[in-house]
Amino acid sequence: MERFYTTTAIDYVNGAPHIGHAYEKILTNVIFRHFTQRTDNAYMLTGCDEHGIKIQKTSKELGMSEQEFCDMNAQKFIDAWKLLDINYSQLIRTTNPLHKSAVQKIFQKLKDKGDIYLHKYEGLYCSGCEAFLNEKDLDENGCCPIHKKKPEVVCEENYFFRLSKYKDAIIKYIKNNPDFIIPSFRANEVLNQLENIEDISVSRSKKSVHWGIPVLDDDSQVIYVWIDALSNYITALGYLSEDDEKFQKYWPADVQVIGKDILKFHAIYWPAILMALDLPLPKHILAHGWITIDETKMSKSLGNVVSPKSVMESFNLIQPDALRYYMATSAPCGKDGNYSDDDFKEKVNAHLANSMGNLLNRSLSMLVKYFEGDIKPEFITKAELFSEAKKTIENVKHHFDYYEVQEAGLKIMEFVDTVNKFVTDNAPWTLAKEEKWTECGTVLYTVLECMTAISSLIYPYCPNIASAMANQLKYDINTKLDDINFNAIKEGHLINKEDIKPVFLRLDSELADKKK
């Protein structure tokens, strides 16, 4: 693989990050970290969407300038992703001068081509969606189905993008590329939306919204969200700037990860804009589901909005690995997932502490107990279990090729269970009791060699736990997946008793309570 480029949706900074935001960033980061194990040229982009009427209104209510408000809230997202070990390559903010300049050039380029035109329009505008809605889009009460508020009637002269011009080309592309939209069942949803697609407004009058990027040759208008926000995926790489080296290297994106609620904009509006700019489309759009809280959709009015920081604090988690693993494996590809405290505790205890962590801990402990931590040359073998490990690596890679992150995680845990069964079936403690030292040592070597592969596979989900495992095994966690050849554990001294430490403590363990 020569290179890999993935993006998240950019977060609107009118509020603070919650677990729904975290789910998307963790999901994307797990994908990104996996592909860093397959290429040296992987790039992950995330960002903040910082223009629009809601920013304008909220900042005024708080007595702040729009930029001060954006700076304050953007930092909350930056801090949240740091807390979750989201090691993105770049975070773009749409108030960045380079982004604003590129967006103005994109707008002008489309205008010069005739794909953007001035038009008087009266429509139903939902400030929550920051979009014009048709009457057929409303619920039985005439409200936006998402924000449950009646849209206001807006009459303006705005610039429109000729979305309808690209309707047939988008339909053809989706039908000819069945894996463009992931999961594939979402494609029919998009094709149905395309049937009645109309041109879209891509500017607002400054009388209505002044907090936006000005149109270059029309001081009465600001560029609206679709050109502004969607373009971040290419402006961040330097498109239409003096330095477009990253754009030339990484575009088109391999996968753009977004929520299912904004699929229309990414599978219809965004491809049309790219076609108008004569640019290739992203290879895949991954539309993930929503995260509910105790099977109930998150809502400020219900008071069940959960922040990633609050989860970590309530469980006294110093590192985010448990939350990363739980969120990344919470839902099948594209389906909705659920968060509950009880399920979180049960799942991470079972998978990370009992199955994986305990497997490493007891294997190393037996190596110290029976062999003073030494790997003797007669222990080293090519075990049948290594073939299962190789199959697991290929299965995990296959799932990631289709961005099936939960499914890949389950394959890893299936192999952990296989290795645990190998230990039980071969009972090294019994072999030691019978003084069958070579057989005992061979079993432990085989397990520890498999644990090096497990540490690599679990690394995208749990980078800190994986690194702790690798350190105790004297294994290079940066080993590429294709370079794993099951000779990482060398003969000689491996570990001392005092260096064996649990890589993840059960959440109900007294040792897990940092106050004790």
Sequence-separated contacts (24+) of 370-374 with Cβ below 8 Å = 370/428, 370/432, 370/437, 370/440, 370/441, 370/444, 371/437, 371/441, 371/444, 372/493, 373/493, 373/494, 373/495, 373/496, 373/497, 374/492, 374/493, 374/494
Residue 462 bears catalytic tag: no
Contact 22, 59 (CB under 8 A): no
Q: 119, 297, 391, 398: which one is catalytic?
A: 297
Side by side, which strands form the sheet with 296-297? 296-297, 291-293, 337-339
Coil vs helix vs strand at 380: coil
CA nearest neighbour of 52 among 228, 183, 179: 228
Can you tell me the distance from the alpha carbon of 378 to that of 270, in angstroms, rounded to the nearest whole number? 60
Start-to-end C-alpha separation, the chain? 48
Residue 300 bears catalytic tag: yes
Q: 136, 300, 515, 516: which one is catalytic?
A: 300
Coil vs helix vs strand at 441: helix
Number of CB atoms found within 10 A of residue 17's CB: 22
Residue 436 bears catalytic tag: no
Q: 25, 34, 51, 129: which one is catalytic?
A: 129
Residue 48 bears catalytic tag: no
Which residues contact residue 206 at a Cβ distance below 8 angstroms, ignoring those fewer than 6 apart?
A: 214, 219, 220, 221, 222
Q: 48, 144, 440, 450: which one is catalytic?
A: 144
Q: 70, 126, 333, 450: which one is catalytic?
A: 126
Which residue type does 206 have? K
Contact 47, 96 (CB under 8 A): no
Residue 18 bears catalytic tag: yes
Can you tell me the distance from the alpha carbon of 223 to that of 206, in angstroms, rounded to the nearest whole number? 10
Contact 412, 454 (CB under 8 A): yes
Q: 60, 82, 113, 147: which one is catalytic?
A: 147
Going by the DSSP 8-state scheme, the letter that residue 221 receives in this structure is: E
What would the two tokens of residue 464 be? 């800190």
Residue 147 bears catalytic tag: yes
Residue 144 bears catalytic tag: yes
SS percent in the chain: helix, strand, coil, step 5: 50, 15, 35
Stated length of the chain: 516
Instruction: Name the residue with tokens 């047939």.
Output: 168
Number of CB atoms found within 10 A of residue 216's CB: 14
Residue 150 bears catalytic tag: no
Active site residues: 18, 21, 126, 129, 144, 147, 297, 300
